[in-house]
Amino acid sequence: MTYQSPRIYIYKITFEEVPYYYYGVHKEKYFNEEYWGSPITNKWCWELYTAKKKILQLFDFTDEGWLKAQEIEERLIKPFFNTDKWCLNESCGGKVSLKVLRESGNKCYELGLGVHSLTKEQRSENGKRTGKISGKKGGKKVYELGIGVHGRTKEQMSEDGKQGGKKSYELKIGIHGITKEQMVENGRKCGNRTYELGIAIHGQSKEKMTENGRKGGKIGGKKTSSQRWMCLETGFITNAGALSNYQKKNGIDTSKRVRIV
């Protein structure tokens, strides 16, 4: 590079009358080319006030120098972008400012473009489809990577359940934050609603309910005996029936329990 060669540099624009400022990077077409930035949204500031430019750093006039200059420009703008009202930069590293986003959103709304061209019904339907697809893909990926709940052993999940049950009881949240009267009332409302809609058990014939009852009796007995419940006062663990007898025998409220398996 000679003294008269075109340059790549980072600069800062300030204004004599106001504290606004602007950072930029420029690649000259010829040495000492007159250049005062390329503002679009805030061009008014250049037109109203007296701009002053200071070159902050020079770079090699190469592809590597240009990339390096852009990288440093982004680092300069980032701390002030969207936070300092005096910063006039409306983009940073490919991101645009909140002001530009708002203006673009308002324009799309006025012209009925993009999502604003859809009816409420269409947006709702698109949301349902996207949710199903994203949910399936996300769940599959989490399972494959063994992260989240899939990254925990049965023992760890069992321990989480114990701790969660104790904490809920102590804080009186969830089911422990509802009185017996409220639970009865909630159950009554749900029962009436399922009856009105003819769903769940109310959607089955008498023959079907009889058959399900037979099957359920056999399976339910096995499942119930294999369940494990814990007393929230003593930590004693056994099946539901045995725990009831244990708590009654020791004068403990039988509602103070949590299922762990």
Domain ranges of the chain: 8-102, 118-151, 152-259
pLDDT at 96: 43
Q: What's the number of CA atoms in the CB half-sphere (13 Å) around residue 227?
A: 16
CA 68-74-80 angle, 5° bins: 155
Amino acid present at 134:
S
Distances (CA, A) of 254 to 186, 243, 245: 20, 8, 9
Q: Where are the strands (E) in the chain, listed by range?
A: 8-15, 21-27, 51-59, 91-92, 95-96, 229-231, 237-238, 257-259
- Inter-residue contact 149 to 157 (CB < 8 Å): yes
pTM beyond 0.75: the answer is: no
Mean predicted confidence (pLDDT) in 210-230: 71
Q: Where are the strands (E) in 149-233, listed by range?
A: 229-231
CA 203-221-168 angle, 5° bins: 80
Q: What is the pLDDT of residues 82-131, one digit of tens each?
A: 889 999 988 887 544 445 445 655 666 676 666 556 677 777 776 666 66
- Inter-residue contact 251 to 242 (CB < 8 Å): no
State the average pLDDT for the chain.
79
Contacts 24+ apart (CB under 8 A), 183-186: none
With b meaning 16 or more CB within 10 Å and e meaning fewer, what string describes 168-200?
bbeeeeeebeeeeeeeeeeeeeeeeeeeeeeee
Q: CB burial class (10 A; 0-12, 13-18, 19+) of residue 227?
A: middle
Residue 11, pLDDT above cutoff 90 = yes
pLDDT at 95: 45
Amino acid present at 136:
K
CA distance 9 to 22: 14
Residue 180, pLDDT above cutoff 70 = yes
